[in-house]
Amino acid sequence: MYDLVIIGGGPGGLSAGIYAIRLGLNTLLVEREMVGGQIALSDLIENYPGFPSISGAGLMEKFEGHARGLGLEIKFTDVQDVASQGNVKVLKTSDGEITTKSVIVATGAKPRRLGVAGEKEFTGKGVSYCATCDGPFFKGLRVVVVGGGDTALKEAVYLSKMAKTVYIVHRRDQFRGEKIQQKRAEEASNVEFLKSHTLKEIKGDKVVEKVVLEDLKTKETRVLDSEGVFIFVGINPTTDFIDVDKDESGFIKTNQKMETSVPGVFAAGDCRTTPLLQVATAVGDGAIAAYTAADYVEGLS
């Protein structure tokens, strides 16, 4: 019987683990794939305090080393279900059941991929899903933003402050984003709209150099010079395995203490409703969730 099981080994989960161990909780962290999460795939991070420039994998190695050094137990298994039996939570995993007094869900979210040729090969080499993370690398360059919702329009405006030219590619002839976001994009002098277009292929040698677009009205193909491609067509949270209150997109609803609708179940990081998906915010969530879990476990005794 554990005091706490943390599901997910990204920044939020590892942060929760560090704080939980320091708070004296008998803690287990379970991870399905690899410790580090999505951020471990980033080539370069320049906005995490204390590390002016470091790879995502390098930063997460430091997180993991810190957590393991404190004695955090880490197990690789796939959590399929979380059920409450009184004050006990039972996790059904691919390796059997785990029982615990409390749970922190820190499973993150994954950007929705387009699945076009070149997308996978150039991820981290010109293809990005986070303008806040990678935008500064494209100062003075040409970039393509794919999407037509609020996120795509906001990120295009953000990128317009540093990029030479921003092309917004949207498959419909009308944007889905709020009118105010459209207006801000229209007011940016270096933003060009390519409505009724789809991205068909991303090309380059070692990094992105060109994109192939299709005009859905004329069916003509257009090759555009571009050093970067930012894709904003949605985010999928990893929350299907747990039954708690979620928003319409599947993100877990929490209060400021990271409490979910189920007592003893907490959430941290990108899997919960949050206005910013960043390592720094996930770390803060994890710390708060650990403290709240510790208070909850103490209240059971």
Point out the residues that are catalytic: 130, 133-134
Phi, psi of 75 (to 5 degrees): -130, 140
Spatial contact of 13 and 6, defined as CB atoms under 8 Å apart: yes
What is the DSSP annotation of the chain?
-EEEEEE--SHHHHHHHHHHHHTT--EEEEESS-TT-GGGG-S-B--BTTBSSB-HHHHHHHHHHHHHHTT-EEEE--EEEEEEETTEEEEEETTEEEEEEEEEE---EEEPP---BTTTTTBTTTEES-HHHHGGGGTTSEEEEE--SHHHHHHHHHHHTTSSEEEEEESSSS--S-HHHHHHHHH-TTEEEEETEEEEEEEESSSEEEEEEEETTT--EEEEE-SEEEE-S-EEES-TT--S-B-TTSPBP--TT-B-SSTTEEE-GGGB--S---HHHHHHHHHHHHHHHHHHHHHH-
Phi, psi of 228 (to 5 degrees): -145, 150
Spatial contact of 98 and 80, defined as CB atoms under 8 Å apart: no
